[in-house]
Structure 1
Amino acid sequence: MEYTVVINGKPEGPYSLAELKNLNIKPGTFIRTPSMDDYKEAHELPELREWLGFRHQQTAPQYFASFDQRLLASVIDYFFLMMAYVAVVLITFIFIDQKAIRVTTALVFLALVPIAKLVYGSFAEASIKQATIGKRLLDIKVTDMLGNRIPLGVSFSRNLAKTISVMPLFLGYLYSFLNKKQQCLHDVIANTLVIKQRLI
């Protein structure tokens, strides 16, 4: 295993595990391996905690998804849901001849789209990926206040609370501009964060 280490603000290496002992690595030193998508603090890596004698120090997230990132993620999710809606409606039209019934069927399925978003979002954000397709494409995810995966019950409550954020005039979403952690009102209610990967 080889490690790239951020020293004085610059990535250096790669170093072997044995060589890290001579670099005065601290628990908060940023380190990355070729298999990692981003840098992590040294105490976050199990082998370094064992080799260098660090304790795991869980720190609260510091990088939060902006309103425009979250909005774009939601648009992407609805795009895929609408594609599924169109496909389902077209399939049902094969078996339905009467125009009135076709229109009624299309309207019924359209009304189910927000419910599908609620259910899908709840399960996706409580999954191991902690994100819907839209959020995954933008590299953001839903966590608790310490960056951990949230339970399904919390995820469902958070998504249900979006109805409060929508009314009136989307003020619950605009609340994110007044919050240091860029939480919308439904995030505050569910005690959750939407975070992004840190950049070095």
Structure 2
Amino acid sequence: MKYTVVINGKPEGPYEFEELKALAIKPETFIRKPGMDDYKEAHEFEELRELFGFRYQQTAPQYFASFDQRLLASVVDYFFITLAYVIFMLLIFIVVEHKTQRILVGVTLLPLIPIVKFVYSSFAEASAKQATIGKRLLDIKVTDMQGSRIELGVSLGRNLAKVLSVLPLFFGYLYSFLNKKQQCWHDIIANTLVVKQRLI
């Protein structure tokens, strides 16, 4: 494994792991390994913490997911949930033969879509991935104000508070345009952020 190190504002290297010992690397020194999209600070690498005796420093997120990214992630989630609902209804229609009964069952079970979305989002965003499928595809995730994973109770409260962001006229979502951290009302209520890894 070779490392590129930012020294005096310029990337230098690559250096072998053993060569790093001779460099004046500090916890905040920016370093990148092959396969990484962007640089990270030295204290974020486990092997460098062991080599230099650094401690991991929890830092607040710097980049926040935009409204369009969050909207697209939600659309993707609803697409997969609706697809699962359609497949489920097709299986139901095999059992229910009468047309009127099929329509009644389809309409009756339609509220399952937002309920499933609520339950799925709550558990997915409190998981180790901190994101639903849609958010993972957009490379964004839900965190607390320090960038750490949120607890299930917080996630449930956050997703429940989305009702307040929807009413009236989705203003709670549009409020993200007026907030430096691009938080919607439900984010502010739950003290959460939706973050991305890079500015671009």
Q: Structure 1 residues 38, 129: closer, same or farther in 2, change over 3 A? A: farther
TM superposition score normalised by structure 2: 0.93
Deviations 1:41-64 (A, max 9, x none): 111122212222323221100010
The CA distance in 2 between the partners of 1:125 and 1:34, in whole Å, is: 29
Give 1:40 deviation, angstroms.
1.8
The CA distance in 2 between the partners of 1:3 and 1:15, in whole Å, is: 5
Give 1:38 deviation, angstroms.
4.2
User: Aligned ranges for residues 1-200 of structure 1 at < 5 Å?
Assistant: 1-34=1-34, 36=36, 38-198=38-198
Q: Which segment is superposed worse, 99-108 or 66-75?
A: 99-108
Q: What secondary structure, in the 3-state scheme, does the structure 2 residue paired with 1:90 have?
A: helix
Q: Which segment is superposed worse, 43-52 or 133-142?
A: 43-52
Q: What secondary structure, in the 3-state scheme, does the structure 2 residue paired with 1:118 have?
A: helix
Q: What secondary structure, in the 3-state scheme, does the structure 2 residue paired with 1:105 have?
A: helix
Give 1:97 deviation, angstroms.
1.2
What is the one-letter code of the residue matched to 1:108? Answer: T
TM superposition score normalised by structure 1: 0.93
What is the one-letter code of the residue matched to 2:66? Answer: S
The CA distance in 1 between the partners of 2:135 and 2:6, in whole Å, is: 28
Unpaired runs of 5+ in structure 1?
none
What is the one-letter code of the residue matched to 2:51? Answer: W
Give 1:6 deviation, angstroms.
3.1
- The count of aligned residue pairs is 200
Give 1:5 deviation, angstroms.
2.1
Give 1:92 deviation, angstroms.
0.5
Give 1:35 deviation, angstroms.
5.6
The CA distance in 1 between the partners of 2:7 and 2:90, in whole Å, is: 58
Unpaired runs of 5+ in structure 2?
none
Q: What secondary structure, in the 3-state scheme, does the structure 1 residue paired with 2:60 have?
A: coil
The CA distance in 1 between the partners of 2:10 and 2:98, in whole Å, is: 68
The CA distance in 1 between the partners of 2:169 and 2:99, in whole Å, is: 36
The CA distance in 1 between the partners of 2:163 and 2:48, in whole Å, is: 45
Give 1:3 deviation, angstroms.
1.6
Q: Structure 1 residues 86, 164: closer, same or farther in 2, change over 3 A? A: same
